[in-house]
């Protein structure tokens, strides 16, 4: 006799996953959350934000990408959830918003409840770091679509901002200062190239490199930094965040111009901050040209912001008071078209 379990979908395992993840989810709750875990939807009250002059919802969605392959090989699943949250909430913070809530989506070949709980543990940690409530999600068991030991992970976040406090590229002028906030390493982009350069097996990932001070796998699995608190600290000082760029896939050349108006170019001084050694290792072992490195990776700066010159030093201090490392990395200049010049 055929049933759903014989087809590869274990409903009981799904129930077990929900039970195991509850303790992590509960730690992310905010007073505005109106719904509990297990419902068909998540509800969030906006009553506490009625005092804003023009409350504006800001959203972001993304996944972890092929970095998940590193987690599969290392059998380490409790940090990729941080990556997933970071990729969404950092985009919200870029716009000047505060993340409110997050929902995750996990698709797997086989539901191993303990593994799913570890993934959600990471998601919950990312939510705690950003102040977002984890109000819902979905775990889809898809036998025959994914192999039994593999999964995909994506998410969606919603935040809020008072429109007047949102970043506005039109306010950026020549002579404004660029501040870079340090990344934790590769973050969650460029892993297709990483996987082409280094053999993707346990032996390769466990190899120790003197140049990076650890094994390759330890450095690559480091979760993406969440910059919500650092950017909030700048705003709390009354500093106007004119522009903000989350440096993800496409590196400097694609992402930094996204925050600029026409006629303004960003000038970034390459020696103004320390580039983490993992990027030198990738470039050397993969024979990757410098321009391609800066066109693929964050090169040590996960976020770049633009402020007025008189606000630059205080902005750096505010970011560092939030526990992140910040550097004045350049300035803006007039140009025929927006872009980036490295020097």
Domains within the chain, CATH numbers bracketed: 11-165 (3.30.1330.10), 169-342 (3.90.650.10)
Helices marked H in the chain — which ranges? 11-26, 68-74, 80-94, 113-130, 191-197, 202-205, 216-220, 228-236, 251-255, 277-286, 290-294, 312-321
Asked whether 316 and 326 are in contact (CB, 8 A), the reply is yes
Cα 233 from chain centroid (whole Å) = 18
Consecutive sets of 10 residues in the chain, 343 residues long: mean pLDDT of each? 58 75 87 81 91 96 96 97 98 96 96 95 97 94 94 97 93 97 97 96 96 97 98 96 96 96 96 97 97 97 98 98 98 95 95
pLDDT for position 20 = 79
Other Cβ atoms within 10 Å of 35 Cβ, number: 14
Separation between Cα atoms, residue 220 and residue 195, nearest integer Å: 11
Tokens 């993707």, residue located: 200
At 3 the pLDDT is: 52
């Amino acid at each position: 006799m055929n049933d759903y379990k014989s087809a590869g979908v274990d409903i009981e395992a799904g129930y077990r996953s929900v039970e195991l993840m509850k303790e992590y989810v509960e730690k992310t709750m905010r007073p505005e959350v109106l719904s509990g875990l297990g419902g068909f939807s998540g509800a969030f009250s906006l009553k506490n934000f009625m005092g804003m002059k023009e409350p504006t919802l800001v959203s972001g969605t993304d996944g972890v990408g092929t970095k998940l392959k590193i987690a599969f090989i290392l059998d380490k699943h409790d940090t990729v959830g941080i990556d997933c949250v970071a990729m969404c909430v950092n985009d919200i913070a870029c716009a000047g918003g505060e993340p409110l809530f997050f929902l995750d989506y996990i698709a797997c070949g086989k539901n191993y409840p303990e593994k799913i709980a570890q993934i959600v543990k990471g998601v919950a940690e990312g939510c705690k770091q950003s102040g977002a409530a984890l109000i819902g999600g979905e775990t889809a068991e898809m036998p025959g679509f994914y192999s039994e030991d593999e999964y995909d992970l994506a998410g969606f976040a919603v935040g809020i901002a008072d429109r007047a406090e949102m970043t506005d590229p039109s306010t950026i002028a020549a002579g404004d200062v660029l501040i870079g906030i340090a990344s934790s390493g590769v973050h969650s982009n460029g892993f297709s190239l990483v996987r082409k350069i280094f053999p993707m097996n346990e032996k390769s990932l466990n190899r120790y490199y003197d140049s990076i001070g650890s094994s390759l796998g330890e450095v690559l699995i480091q979760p993406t930094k969440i910059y919500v608190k650092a950017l909030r600290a700048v705003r709390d000082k009354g500093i106007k965040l004119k522009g903000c760029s989350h440096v993800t896939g496409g590196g400097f050349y694609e992402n930094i111009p996204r925050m600029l108006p026409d006629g303004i170019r960003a000038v970034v001084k390459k020696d103004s901050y320390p580039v983490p050694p993992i990027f030198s290792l990738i470039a050397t072992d993969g024979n990757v040209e410098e321009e391609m490195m800066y066109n693929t990776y964050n090169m040590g700066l996960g976020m770049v912001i633009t402020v007025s010159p008189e606000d630059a030093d205080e902005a750096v201090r505010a970011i560092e008071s939030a526990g992140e490392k910040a550097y004045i990395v350049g300035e803006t200049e007039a140009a025929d078209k927006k872009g980036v010049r490295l020097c």
